[in-house]
Structures are given as structure tokens and as C-alpha cells.
Amino acid sequence: GAVVSQHPSRVICKSGTSVKIECRSLDFQATTMFWYRQFPKQSLMLMATSNEGSKATYEQGVEKDKFLINHASLTLSTLTVTSAHPEDSSFYICSARDTRYGLAGQSSYNEQFFGPGTRLTVL
Amino acid sequence: GEDVEQSLFLSVREGDSSVINCTYTDSSSTYLYWYKQEPGAGLQLLTYIFSNMDMKQDQRLTVLLNKKDKHLSLRIADTQTGDSAIYFCAEKESSASKIIFGSGTRLSIRP
């Protein structure tokens, strides 16, 4: 099956610093990647949809200047948490959409593959 | 907007069957999924069902869909300790790329 990796798996940083999280599709190309945030004992909250070569689409309530997304290639999307604060501490999960599944304008059942997540702790 | 709801916790004895229930509001849902998340890990797609199906069985897993009541369930037969995890119900429309997740049900196994 398709594999998605995230790096780092765990990061601890000081308040005010910026942290970059990478999401890679290892054996397939992904024109679209999704970034989720998961608080303890809560569901996944979609933060943004990352499209290769264009600007990301952010969900309502997500600050695009705080959570910078870059999707410069078909296998890599990055999420940068700028000027991180303790309330940004969370589990960040990405998923990647395999371009092989589904025709243009359509979608299929299993087109998204999830990464293992990145645990961010801001002190 | 779309909403997916699940109970937060379920505890079953090892060897018994587990049944995790889910309700959703979007009548346009085309795909309904069950994902498993083990501690500290990402999501693993367990199984899925198309909205035009009533039931799907895959080894120990049975998915039942009542489209009229917008109710989805996942039955795990002969529950094992390795089944301890959070199970997420999710739905997606055919024309959408966004998957809507439920809150997750934490399944714990008693000896």
C-alpha cells in the first residue's frame, strides 16, 4: 500500500520559535495533501488542504499566517508553525491523496493515506 | 453542516464481540469508513462501505449500514488485546475530497 511519512515524529520547542513538519508520500505522487490537528481524546480537525504548486486552502478559524503550508513537489508538503505557543501543542497528522485513484473531478474510496503523526510540545 | 457522532468509550471482555456505533447527518455521503488509531500513531483504514451497500464483512470485521437512519456500525468478532485502539467513523461525499471524522470511540479490552 501507499506509504506516507512525517518528520519529525516528536518535537519539543520553546515558546516563540518556529517548527517545520514534513509530510512525504514515499511511493506515490500526491497532488493534494491534508493537514489535521488532533487534541488529546478528540477527533481530527482538518486544518488545511495543501495543493501542489498553489496556495493551500485553510479551514475556517485556522490562521494561515500562523500555520504556513508549502507543497512544492508532488511528494512533499510542509507545515510550519510560526511563533509557536503552548496552546499549539498538539498531534499533527497529514494525509496524502494518491493521484492514481479517481479520475479528474471524481474521487474514490481510498484515495487518502495517513502519516504516523507528529507530536508537538511547546514549552 | 456535516456531522458524525460516536460514543466515546467502549469496554469489552477479551473474546467477546465489540460493536461500535456511529450516526451521521449528511445524506449525500457516498463513502463511509472505519479507521483505527493506535496510541501515538496515525490512522489506519480498517474498512469502508459504499452508501448503496447494507453490509460488508471482512474477516473479523462486519460493517452494517442503515442508510434510512444514517447509522453505521462496526462489529469486531472475537475481540483481542491488539484491538485496543480508537476507532473513527468517517464519511465522504462522492464529489468531495474532504473526509469528515467522528469523535472516535476508545475501545478497551478486559481480560
Residue of chain B whose alpha carbon sits nearest to that of A109: B31
Q: Nearest CB to A32: which of B33, B88, B97?
A: B97
Question: Can you give the pLDDT at residue A112?
Answer: 82
What are the pLDDT digits (tens) for B9-61? 999 999 999 999 999 988 887 889 999 999 888 888 899 998 889 999 999 99
Instruction: Residue A6: list chain B partners with CB under 8 A.
Output: 42
A101 touches chain B (CB under 8 A): no
The C-alpha atoms of residue B86 and residue A3 are separated, in whole angstroms, by 21
- 3-state class (DSSP) for residue A91: strand
Q: Nearest CB to A114: which of B42, B95, B96?
A: B42
B41 touches chain A (CB under 8 A): yes
Q: Nearest CB to A46: which of B35, B44, B98?
A: B98
Question: Can you give the pLDDT at residue B14?
Answer: 97
Residue A76 burial class via C-beta count within 10 angstroms: exposed 0-12, middle 13-18, buried 19 and up: middle
Question: Can you give the pLDDT at residue A108?
Answer: 57
Segments of chain A with pLDDT less than 70: 1, 99-111
What are the pLDDT digits (tens) for A39-72? 877 788 899 998 888 889 999 999 999 999 998 8
Give me the residues paired with residue A38 across strands.
A44, A91
The C-alpha atoms of residue A112 and residue B35 are separated, in whole angstroms, by 12
Give me the residues paired with residue B74 across strands.
B20, B63
Answer positive or negative: Cα dihedral of A61, A47, A77, A16: positive
Cα of first residue to Cα of last residue in chain B, in angstroms, is 41
| Residue B35 grid coordinates | 479507521
CB distance A32 to B97 below 8 Å: yes
List, as one string, the DSSP characters of B61-98. Answer: EEEEEETTTTEEEEEESS--GGG-EEEEEEEEETT--P
Q: How far is A40 from chain B (nearest CA, A)?
A: 10
Question: Can you give the pLDDT at residue A104?
Answer: 47
Instruction: Residue A46: list chain B partners with CB under 8 A.
Output: 98
B42 touches chain A (CB under 8 A): yes
